[in-house]
A = this chain, B = another copy of it.
Amino acid sequence: MIKAGIIGSTGYAGAELVRLLLGHKDVEIVWYGSRSYIDKRYSEVYQNMFRLVENVCQDDNMKELADAADVIFTATPQGLCASLVNEDILKKAKIIDLSADFRLKDVKVYEEWYKIEHRAPQYLSEAVYGLCEINREDVKQSRLVANPGCYTTCSILSVYPLLKEGIIDGNTVIVDAKSGTSGAGRGAKVDNLFCEVNESIKAYGVATHRHTPEIEEQLGYAAGYPVTINFTPHLVPMNRGILVTAYASLIKDVSWEDVRAAYEKYYKDEYFIRLLDRDVCPQTKWVEGSNYVDIGFKLDHRTNRIIMMGALDNLVKGAAGQAVQNMNLMFGLDETEGLRLVPMFP
């Protein structure tokens, strides 16, 4: 039995980790970290867990936690994980960080986009970017995994094979992304009130959203050259789901079959990636509650562009599900253990 601790277990991503790990036959949660609710019963903070979780919330004591747990999930604001991690802890427990602290290899880029000092740059090179479908083997060997962002996972997986195969020009990539409101977290802000979000849609963080450099770095690896993109997130009146609509100019004369073959080359054996049939556009509802990413595309010869579309559940494949997938790899388990969730519809 793997003992797991969660720092930040009362945010939405942390709560989703709890939901998934409760259904994982090889894991026991031993630490429900939550600075905001210390000593409060977890099931009072998340009443859906009533009678399923008897524990109370504990403070963020990473040192003590490392003694108690085999794996630590940090579902916390940027900067916290980096400020707590050290050699002593990493010797005792593997860390899967759901924040952005170890996602960018270049500390300067991190500090520029996140406006905070990085407290543990010495681990940047060691940390593995936990996009399992791409870095599977490295994840298996890792003791510190940077779990990718929700927008990032969906954006990269939708675009990656076409860059890798030289079908599109990386610097023409435009990612127009749409997210459910759980991505904004459980903080009590006027902007996220029901009446403000419902019956409305807006873009935000235009040209400045922090997931931009993360997408660019990973797409750059795929392309083999530095890539600069436009990334525009939107807030959608729904709880869960991310839809990515990505545009790029074609630099090869390709047919639908060629593009399909490029996707299949990388994804055909991937359990969690579903390449949709021709002309089927992904919908976030079709993946809700599951760890799947659904991908479709459309060639537009009028404009010589391709439209790539991906959908996932931001709390599962975009956060907690991917973290569990990483954990499975790090501990030598079946990668799908605890994650063979059937999407819930409606």
Residues of A within 8 A of B (CB): 12, 15, 19, 22-23, 46-52, 171, 174, 176, 178, 180-182, 186, 188-190, 192-204, 206-207, 228-230, 232, 234, 236-241, 243, 245, 247, 274, 276, 280-290, 294, 298-300, 302-303, 305, 307, 309, 311, 340, 342-346
Contacts and interface: CB of A to CB of B under 8 A. Distances in A.
A241 B195 contact: no
B200 A50 contact: no
Nearest to A309: B203
A47 B237 CA distance: 18
A171 B207 CA distance: 21
A176 B294 contact: no
A190 B190 CA distance: 10
A171 to B, nearest CB: 8
B207 A238 contact: no
Contact of A345 (B48, B229, B311): B48
A46 B178 CA distance: 22
Contacts of A197: 194
A23 to B, nearest CB: 6
Given A188-B189, A206-B300, 7 more contacts: A47-B283, A50-B286, A195-B239, A200-B288, A201-B241, A202-B283, A207-B299
B346 A12 contact: yes
Given A47-B280, A186-B195, A302-B228, A15 B345 contact: yes
A154 to B, nearest CB: 12
Nearest to A195: B346
A245 B203 CA distance: 8
Contacts of A196: 194, 285, 346
Given A305-B230, A307-B206, A238 B50 contact: no
